[in-house]
Structure 1
Amino acid sequence: MWKGRFALSGRLCCFPKDPLEEAETWGESVDKLLECKSGQIAFRDFLKSEYSEENILFWLACEEYKKIKSVPEMISSANRIYSEFVQVEAPRQINIDCGTRENITKNISQPSLSSFDTAQKLIYSLMARDCYPRFLKSDLYQALLMRADSR
C-alpha cells in the first residue's frame, strides 16, 4: 500500500476542486495529470518509487524555464538544468539520445527559451507512453480513486 506525502484533502490543485475529485480526471490523459499540482505530486511520488523521478523534475524545470523573462536568469537556469539533468554523469541524468544531449551541450553557452524543447518532448513522450500507464495501474493511483469513490 502506498504511504506517500501526498495530501488527500484541501485545495492543492490548480483548479478550485479537492485533489480527490481531481484524481478521477487524471486517468483521462497525461496532460490532465500534469496540469494539476496535486497530480504532479502524486505522479512524482510514483516515479520516485520507480527510481525515475528525474523525468518529471526535468519536465517541470523546463516548464518553469520557458517562463523566464530576463537573459541573466535564463543563463543561470539553463546552466542549472544542464548540470542537474543533461550533462553526462549529472546527479539526475535524464535518458535522452546522445544527439539531443550533444546539441544541448553545444548550445548551452548561448541558451534560448527553446534550448531544452527537444529533450523535454522526449521525456514527455517517455512518461506518456511508459510511466503514465503504469501510474494508472499503481496502488497509489488506485488508492486515490477508492478514497474518492468512498466519499
Structure 2
Amino acid sequence: MSNPKAWRHSLNFLIKDEEGFKIFQKYLKSEMCDENIDFWKAVENYRLNTSKEELEKQANIIFKTYITNNSRRCVNLKGPTRSKVALDIKAGPTRYIFDAAQREIFEVIERDPYQRFLTSDAYLNLLTGFKIFQKYLKSEMCDENIDFWKAVENYRVNSSKTELEKQANIIFKTYITNNSRRCVNLKGPTRSKVALDIKAGPTRYIFDAAQREIFEVIERDPYQRFLKSDVYQSLLT
C-alpha cells in the first residue's frame, strides 16, 4: 500500500514508489510529455547491466530514442550535455554515461510536470480515496491500523536523528505499547523487536516489519469489508 500523501514531499518520493511512478507516468502520458520520465527510468534500468555488450547495446538504444535531435522522443537536454553523451558513446559507454543527462531531466520534471501533477485531478482523487477509506474505518471503530500505517509512512520522511527519535517514541507509545488505547494488532515477537530497536536507537526503517504486518491485517479484513460497503459501492455509481 502506497501513501499518496507522501508523494508531495519530493519528486524522488514519488518516482521511487512503484505505484507512484506508474500513476505519474500515466498522467504524463495523458499530457503527452512522458518521454522525460521514460528516459529517467531507462537510465535507472541501464545501470543494472553488468556485461559490456549489454551496456553498449542499451546505451545505443537510449541514445537513439531520447538523445538524438531527430528522435520523435527526444528529451529536453542542454546542448553541451547532449554533445558530451554523444562523445562518450563513441568512446565506449560505461554504467554512468547518462548520469549528468538524467540529473538534468530530473530537474526539468521537478520544475514543471511534477508541480502540475500535484494539483491535478489524477493526484487529488487519490488523496480523497485514502481519506474515504480512513473515514470508513473510523466509522467502524477500527482506524488505528490505518493511522499507524500512515504514521510510519510520514515517519520515514524525517531526516534528522532528533526528529526520528521523537517521532519513533510517539508512534511506539501511541500504537505499539500494550496499554495504549490505540494499540494495533501486532504479533508478540514483532512488538518486542520494535521495543528493543527503540532502546538501541531508532532508524528510518525501525517500523517496517510492523507496518507490513499491519498492512496484511488491513488487507485481510477491513479492506474486504470496505469493498462490500455502501460507502465504496456509492463511489462506483
TM-score, scaled relative to structure 1: 0.84
Give the partner amino acid of 1:119: A
Q: Give the structure with higher Rg (CA).
A: 2
Of residues 72, 96, 114, the one that matches 1:91 is: 72
Q: Which runs of 4+ in 1 moved over 6 A?
A: none
Count of matched residue pairs: 132
State the secondary structure of the residue aligned to 1:150: helix
Tell me the CA shift for residue 50 of structure 1: 2.0
Give the partner amino acid of 2:109: M
Aligned positions of 1:64-143 closer than 5 A: 64-109=45-90, 110-143=92-125
In 2, Cα distance between equivalents of 1:143 and 1:26: 13
In 1, Cα distance between equivalents of 2:80 and 2:115: 27
Residue deviations 1:37-79 (CA, integer Å, cap 9, x gap):
1111111111112221001100000111112111001000100
Name 1:30's counterpart in structure 2.
11
TM-score, scaled relative to structure 2: 0.54
Query: Which structure's relative contact order is higher, taking Cα pairs within 8 Å and 6+ residues apart?
Result: 1
Name 1:39's counterpart in structure 2.
20
Q: CA RMSD in A?
A: 1.0
State the secondary structure of the residue aligned to 1:122: helix
Mean Cα deviation higher: 132-141 or 101-110: 101-110
Residue deviations 1:11-34 (CA, integer Å, cap 9, x gap):
xxxxxxx24xx2121111111101
Of residues 44, 51, 58, the one that matches 1:63 is: 44
Give the helix-richer structure, 1 or 2.
2
Give the partner amino acid of 1:86: I
Name 1:52's counterpart in structure 2.
33
Give the partner amino acid of 1:25: A
In 2, Cα distance between equivalents of 1:66 and 1:53: 21
